[in-house]
Amino acid sequence: MSWACCSNICPSTSNFLAIGYDLKRFNGNKAQRPKRRLSKSGRETDICAYYGLKTPPYELDALEPYMSQKTLEKHWGGHHHNYVEGLNKQLERNDVLYGLTMEELIKVTYNNGNPLPEFNNAAQVWNHDFFWESMQPGGGHQPVLGLLKQIEKDFGSFTNFREKFIEAALTLFGSGWVWLVLIKDEKRLAIRKTSNAINPIVWDEIPLMSLDMWEHSYYLDYRNDKSKYVNVFMNHLVSWDVAMVRIVRAQAFVNLGEPNIPVA
Ligand SMILES: [Fe+2]
């Protein structure tokens, strides 16, 4: 489902937050060719947006006390929202990119490592949608069943995986992301750390969960204590339930030999 708004009714960030969860109806992931519409006054206006701001799958205070409502308001309602708006402004000027799914847009604009101007905003929109869904109230602990077995097979033990994931997060230079991915050709899991907006789908890997290591993700709650933030994420926030759904879905497609695996 896609959404669009006219220039004279585009919500500002503050209005967006005031509207809150009614914005679920704007939940979109496919760019639409711009159309012209009549406003209520009968005046023809340009539709100015192509991608929508998805809401996290929980209330903004639901991750308290581990990730504060204030952080979610600024991170989702500010930074994530700005990436959506920035992308939509760029797409107004580039007809070639209309009609692509977000995953297609990211791969095309990554341009084999020579990113086009739209790449950063497109990838950051996707990265944040994925990150919100990688957490849940009451998260943390450790995975179970097939995902746990796969982690034990590829990392030796969950404890070893946990140490390596935390180490990757704390040794990431500058802003970026840490990921648990499934490498579909090798049918094994791996940890990836990426700089700025880059994500593993540009290499055709399948992300299962992610951690935002941009300063805007932790500074309000943890200042410069990245270690505390990362440990809290692993202990209380990461959604192994969602990661389990993602790996089951991905493995089903890998086992069937489907050429294109939709990323959950
Ligand atoms: Fe972020």
Q: What is the pLDDT of residues 5-26, one digit of tens each?
A: 333 223 333 223 222 222 333 3
Q: At what angle do helices 102-110 and 119-133 cross, to 10 degrees?
A: 140
Ligand 1 geometric centre to CA of 261 (Å)? 25
Ligand 1 geometric centre to CA of 196 (Å)? 10
Neighbour tally for 34: CB within 10 Å:
17
Structure tokens at 95: 């007809």
What end-to-end distance do the CA atoms of the chain give, in Å?
16
Mean pLDDT, to the nearest integer, of 19-44? 40
pLDDT score for 140: 97
Helix/strand/coil for 209: strand
Ligand 1 geometric centre to CA of 217 (Å)? 5
pLDDT score for 253: 75
Tally the residues of the chain: 264
Predicted structure pTM score: 0.81
What residues have their beta carbon closer than 5 A to ion ligand 1?
212, 214, 217
DSSP string, 12-24: PHHHHHHHGGGGG
Ligand 1 geometric centre to CA of 76 (Å)? 8
